[in-house]
Amino acid sequence: MSIQPAAPMMEHNTSHCCFCSMQCGLVLAPAGGGPELTIRPSPSFPVATNRLCQKGLNALDHVVHEERIMTPLRRQETAVTADGDHASSAWQRTGWDEALPAIAGRLRDIQRRYGNDAVSVYGGGSLTNEVCYLLGKFARVALKTRYIDYNGRYCMSSAAAAANQSFGLDRGMTMPLSEIRNAKYILLAGTNIAECQPTMMPYLLEAKKNGAILVTIDPRNTLTSKSADIHVRLQPGFDSVFVNGLLHVIIHEQLYDHTFVNERTSGFAELAAAVESFTPAKVEEWTGILESVTRTVARGFAKAETGIVLTARGLEQQSNGVENTKNYINLALLTGKIGRPGCGYGAVTGQANGQGGREHGQKADQLPGYRSIEDPAAREHIGHVWGIDPAELPGKGVSAYEMLQKIDEGEIKAMIVVGSNPVVSSPNSRMVDRALGKLELLVVVDLFETETARYAHWLLPGASFLEAEGTLTNLEGRVFHRPRALEPPGECKPDYRLICELAEQLGRGAYFQYATAELIFEEMRCATAGGKADYSGITYRRLKEEQGVFWPCPDERHPGSPMLFADRFAHPDGRARLFGIRPSMPAEPIDDEYPYILTTGRVGSHYLSGAQTRRTTALLKKAPVPVAELHPWLAKRIGLGVGDHIRITSRRASLVFAVKVTEGIQPRTVFVPFHWGGELSVNRLTIDALDPVSRMPEFKLCAVRIEAVKPETNGMQVT
């Protein structure tokens, strides 16, 4: 059920794109002098000035889409059929005066029968800092549950864990984007920036214009690799093998920065021992990467005056993703390329507020300011800010996917999902289908009836990015203010108001008295004070005047911290940690029955689960369905004919996809984008193995078999 949104009325004409972590500035302007609006790039925001990608230019379309949910909806009844499929009745429109008391009553009843931890909260990485903070507080103060996590667990958790272990601090990039132009050697590992963060490409191209060497490391030849000087086509799962080869050369040829290593790091002996046997010849034997390529990249990066390492999901979304990431950080540390102009390490954050989303309390084990929920001093501080006894705070919960497993196992009976679509984004997603169908209560706050919302008992209309004031933190660690540009249509509520009103219905409203988003931010400043992610010196006034402030910023006179680790790292002794990585096998190695590797990723026209971009005509037209990519060698091996589709079968499911044959992919690997649901959802195939530290799922590789499907039988289907 939907109501056509009314013509939007502008409050402010500036905002920021809702999609990737660049968070480019945009301007709303009348289209042709009429009531309709259009989007143009901002000429003044210091990140990607005067640039927007195709998603940003079309970001208004989903805001005014006819399928937008405009009023609270209640499911009349739900059922699960014998074969596990979900059957549901039509939605019934209600008002907020009915919805919130009814939801609160069900939550209280479930907790009375099963305990506080029977209720869980699943957040999103595109919510504002204020909503992220409030959602964590709501779970722990209003619901008193330990079960809260968010979809950033699927995005940045491995990089965050690695940075915390190596540096003592996780901020996606240790330097601002502007430093890329000063780098003479840039490694891009497992990242396809040209499609995932398109407005970041000009920074890389400017560096190349200034003489930089650009190296891409990816199983595919991507739009990004087309700009590279060297492309290393590495099979998924061999990241640390290759990096160990680079480290071996740097150490064996004495190319590392002896002074930096001796004075500012620890763990060199362990690292040297771990890479001793990884000669370039051995790396070639194990990976197929020529010995000369390993030596060329190692020498080039080590000898360059300046250099930057950028990583992303390709190497992080593995069951050893933390180790892979620490190994790339080893490269920056071993060569002393950190904490000075033109140097640094960056994990290229994916979601709009993936950085801020993990800093302020959505993660199962964290309190605001990047404080550990198990640290007595942190609990004391947050208890004081929130006005509660620290003993009332629950302990740490579990990761996002593990919460879904606990639903399937019967431990969690209710879930509130805010701004996320785990049915599409989770691995082994047929388990997620089954689990959500078992819930006694599922409440989804979203703009649309997503694949997840089809299981919901209540679907509540949230506000779009143009209708909600707040702050966000981009991939650099730059905190900025996003004004409310449009009035929420219909009965849509800003997320913070919805959370506060539900807390009131639960009898905890005294702890959620915020008239504006700025008041939430003011409390968040106090909550983060003294923490690793210290926002206490940042104010709305500063953000509006300065167009962003880099954290940490411990007081209002502090200029912010664009460049990290110039003098010391965040470990107590001030030193960074080097780690000796001994590569492990994937969770699901290939074998005779499943001889190929499936890897997943994004395409430039879509974003995350596609809930917004699949409702944007211009973007859907460019990519209406997922298309699998495979090498001509593999196409010949399976007897692929003209017009054929392929069937990909894993140990979990079997799906049929349209196919593109390209030499630009590792021969034993097939790539499928993940932005679609239902029978087009590749995450029905992926494995739910988790990294032991970050609890990040291994999206990037699982074992599959592949067969050609002739035109007369190639209907999209799942078995």
Confidence of residue 30 (pLDDT cuts 50, 70, 90): confident
**Cα distances (Å, whole numbers) of residue 191 to 395, 422, 504, 584:** 35, 23, 44, 21
Instruction: Name the fold adopted by 157-347.
Output: Dimethylsulfoxide Reductase; domain 2 (3.40.228)
Half-sphere exposure of 147 (CA within 13 A, CB side): 24
pLDDT of residue 9: 62
pLDDT at 11 over 80: no
Q: How confident is the model at residue 354, as a pLDDT?
A: 87
Per-residue pLDDT band at 2 (split at 50, 70, 90):
very low
| E strand spans, 262-365 | 265-266, 308-311, 344-347
Residue pair 489/6 in contact by the 8 Å Cβ criterion = yes
Interval 306-312 mean pLDDT: 97
The domains of the chain are located at 91-155+353-464+488-532, 157-347, 596-713
Mean pLDDT of 36-45: 93
Q: Write out pLDDT tens, residues 418-449.
A: 999 999 999 999 999 999 999 999 999 999 99
Question: For residue range 72-116, what is the model confidence (pLDDT) as tens digits?
Answer: 999 986 545 444 455 457 899 999 999 999 999 999 999 999 999
The three-state secondary structure class of 215 is strand
Q: Which two tokens stand for residue 598?
A: 């499936």
Average pLDDT over residues 628-648: 96
Share of the chain above pLDDT 70, in %: 95
What pLDDT score was predicted for residue 92?
96
Question: Which has more pLDDT, 705 or 710?
Answer: 705
pLDDT at 607 over 90: yes
Evaluate if residue 200 carries a pLDDT over 80: yes
> Counting Cβ atoms within 10 Å, is residue 181 exposed (0-12), middle (13-18) or buried (19+)?
middle
How much is the average pLDDT of 158-163? Answer: 96
Confidence grade of residue 352 (pLDDT, cut at 50, 70, 90) = confident
CATH fold of 596-713 reads Barwin-like endoglucanases (2.40.40)
pLDDT of residue 350: 85
Element housing 621 (H / E): helix 617-622
Does the pLDDT at position 506 exceed 70?
yes
**Strands 366-367 and 371-372, bridge-based pairing:** antiparallel
Q: Are 620 and 652 in contact (CB under 8 A)?
A: no
User: For residue 358, what pLDDT is reported?
Assistant: 87
Order the strands of the 91-93 sheet from edge to edge: 91-93, 73-75, 458-461, 441-446, 414-418, 119-123, 148-150
Residue 642 pLDDT class (50, 70, 90 cuts):
very high
- Judged against a pLDDT cut of 80, whether residue 1 lies above it is answered with no
Mean pLDDT, the chain, rounded, equals 94
Q: In what helix (H) or strand (E) does residue 660 lie, and over which residues does it extend?
A: strand 654-661
So what's the pLDDT on residue 8? 61
As given in the structure block, the two tokens for residue 558 are: 């502090």
**Structure confidence by residue, pLDDT tens digits, 568-581:** 999 999 999 999 99
Q: What is the pLDDT of residues 229-282, one digit of tens each?
A: 999 999 999 999 999 999 999 999 999 999 999 999 999 999 999 999 999 999
- Please determine, for residue 499, whether its predicted confidence score (pLDDT) is greater than 90: yes
* Section 456-478 average pLDDT: 96
Q: What is the per-residue pLDDT for 234?
A: 96
Asked if 236 and 219 touch (Cβ cutoff 8 Å), the reply is yes
Looking up tokens 């009531």 gives 35
H-state helical runs in 472-539: 495-505, 517-528
pTM of structure: 0.94
Q: Would you state the pLDDT for residue 84? A: 47
pLDDT of residue 47: 94
- CA dist 593 and 418 (Å) reads 40
The confidence score (pLDDT) of residue 99 equals: 98
pLDDT at 392 over 50: yes
C-alpha separations of 231 from 115, 292, 581, 583 in Å: 54, 13, 23, 22
Count CA within 13 A, CB hemisphere, residue 562.
Answer: 11
Top CATH class, 91-155+353-464+488-532? alpha beta
pLDDT band at 357 (very low <50, low <70, confident <90, very high): confident
Cα torsion for 292, 295, 299, 302, to the nearest 10°?
140
Higher pLDDT, 155 or 501: 501
Confidence check: pLDDT of 415 > 80: yes
